[in-house]
Structure 1
Amino acid sequence: MPVLPWSTIDTVLLDMDGTLLDLHYDNRFWLQHLPQRYAELHGVSRAMAELELRPLFEQHAGTLNWYCLDFWSRELRLPIRELKLEIADLIALKPDADTFLAAIRKAGKRVVMITNAHRDSLSLKLERVELAPYFERLISSHDYGYPKESPQFWDALQADIGFEPARSLFIDDTLAILRSARQFGVGHLLAVRQPDSRAEPRDTQEFTAVEDYRELLEGL
């Protein structure tokens, strides 16, 4: 992990799920809990539930619908918010993420959350993990109508908060989103090696990976 050139970074943009929060909660919900509850509530087998859900997930992956609880509630005829509450005890902060947030705020950096999470999902998580005080703004891509994978998201973010891309650091666990940020001109990009603490580490390809938030504080 190279030392970040903190003197050239004014703004820190941070993803939430998989970056600051353990992705285990989201993976458990979408891959296990939702198919099980879909099967129970629609009176089908678990195998049939997965056969019905998989093409829908594949069709909408990377779009704003993928992250929208209202969309999935309508599409699946299920109370998604209530179902997410059923395993909310799994929502957890990644190790030392709060130490990192406190240090960059103390150092005078502008800290902004940018998440694809729906506002209801964001609220659910902020009720269980105290993140809001560390941030100047908490921005959901649903506020703009475009996911972070889209160039239009970055245009909207620029118009909204007026940051300087070349003097910004962005950390995310999704490579397609990091590539979109790079295309926009964000100068410092880091991927997350292990978004889900109970899954295998990922290949972050061309991006330097975060494995320990304390390491990022060197030279701050």
Structure 2
Amino acid sequence: MDGTLLDKHFDDYFWEQYVPEHYSLRHDLGLEQARAELLARYQRTAGSLLWADLDHWSRELGFDLVALKEQLASLIVLRPRVERFLDRCRQAGKQLYLVTNAHHRTLALKLSRVDLACRLDRIVHAGSDAGRPELPALPPVAAINRAKEEEQFWHELTRLLALDPARSLLIDDSETVLAQAAAGGIRHLCHIARPSSRLPTRFSSRFPSIEHFDEIMPPLPRTP
């Protein structure tokens, strides 16, 4: 979701600037020292469910991260041409699934800010808390208690959604996720080279890579 459908600037700014600012004030540290300490702590959870677990980080850091995210909610925006791409896929008869590591409260906040849920067939997130009241009733939400950075996640996703992995396309901004999806049998893979509007484009050397969705936009259906 983040960096693929949504501008990753929100998350980058939140974790690398906004949280360090609050952490530095709480612990009477300089901003750069606070940022360095936090980035080291973040990195120790990379690739695990704890990475995006707001409850975990709220306990660890001693303040309400959900409330902080809500203060920055105006930064939650779709990446260019996302709505048109999803609509074209729908017109072409494709099934659309959102697969995310996002914590359920982050997911609920973001879906409340963008016109995305109505365009999806199902949401699958990497947690054990599907069915929480914060999440939308539609589309249906399911959970896999693994991170997308694990190969087993993709085997379980394939079973859950009854996917044909040879006919499935995953689009993601993380090369690690794409590599694990490939190991899990997903055949068609596409890398987002510019997940944040504030950072330069970085194309992948390992996977087909695009900046924006107009590069793979399905054509309009032919009229009889």
TM superposition score normalised by structure 1: 0.89
The answer for the alignment partner of 1:68 in structure 2 is 53
Q: Where does the alignment leave 5 or more consecutive residues of structure 2 unmatched?
A: 128-142
| Structure 1 stretches of at least 4 aligned residues deviating more than 4 Å after TM superposition | none
- 8 A Cα contact 2:155 2:185, kept in partner: no
How far the C-alpha of 1:167 sits from its partner, in A, is 0.5
Alignment of 1:145-164 (within 5 A): 145-164=145-164
CA distance in structure 2 between the aligned counterparts of 1:198 and 1:51, rounded to whole angstroms = 21
1:78 equivalenced with 2:63 (yes/no): yes
Bigger mean CA offset, 77-86 vs 34-43: 34-43
Give the aligned CA root-mean-square deviation in angstroms.
1.4
CA distance in structure 1 between the aligned counterparts of 2:51 and 2:91, rounded to whole angstroms = 35
How far the C-alpha of 1:216 sits from its partner, in A, is 1.1
CA distance in structure 2 between the aligned counterparts of 1:67 and 1:218, rounded to whole angstroms = 32
1:139 maps to a residue whose letter is V
How far the C-alpha of 1:145 sits from its partner, in A, is 1.5
The answer for the alignment partner of 2:116 in structure 1 is 131
The answer for the alignment partner of 1:202 in structure 2 is 202
SS in structure 1 opposite 2:96?
strand
The answer for the alignment partner of 1:21 in structure 2 is 6
- Aligned residue pairs total 205
The answer for the alignment partner of 1:35 in structure 2 is 20
The counterpart of 2:88, out of the listed 100, 103, 115, is 103
1:204 maps to a residue whose letter is S
Bigger mean CA offset, 94-103 vs 41-50: 41-50
- 8 A Cα contact 2:17 2:35, kept in partner: no
How far the C-alpha of 1:39 sits from its partner, in A, is 1.4
CA distance in structure 2 between the aligned counterparts of 1:86 and 1:182, rounded to whole angstroms = 37
Bigger mean CA offset, 168-177 vs 39-48: 39-48
- 8 A Cα contact 2:92 2:218, kept in partner: no
How far the C-alpha of 1:201 sits from its partner, in A, is 1.0
> Residue by residue, what CA displacement relative to the aligned partner does 1:71-115 show, whole Å, maximum 9, x if unpaired?
111111110100111111111111101000011011111110001
The answer for the alignment partner of 1:180 in structure 2 is 180
The answer for the alignment partner of 1:10 in structure 2 is none
The answer for the alignment partner of 1:8 in structure 2 is none
1:215 maps to a residue whose letter is E
TM superposition score normalised by structure 2: 0.87
Q: Where does the alignment leave 5 or more consecutive residues of structure 1 unmatched?
A: 1-15
- 8 A Cα contact 2:203 2:210, kept in partner: no
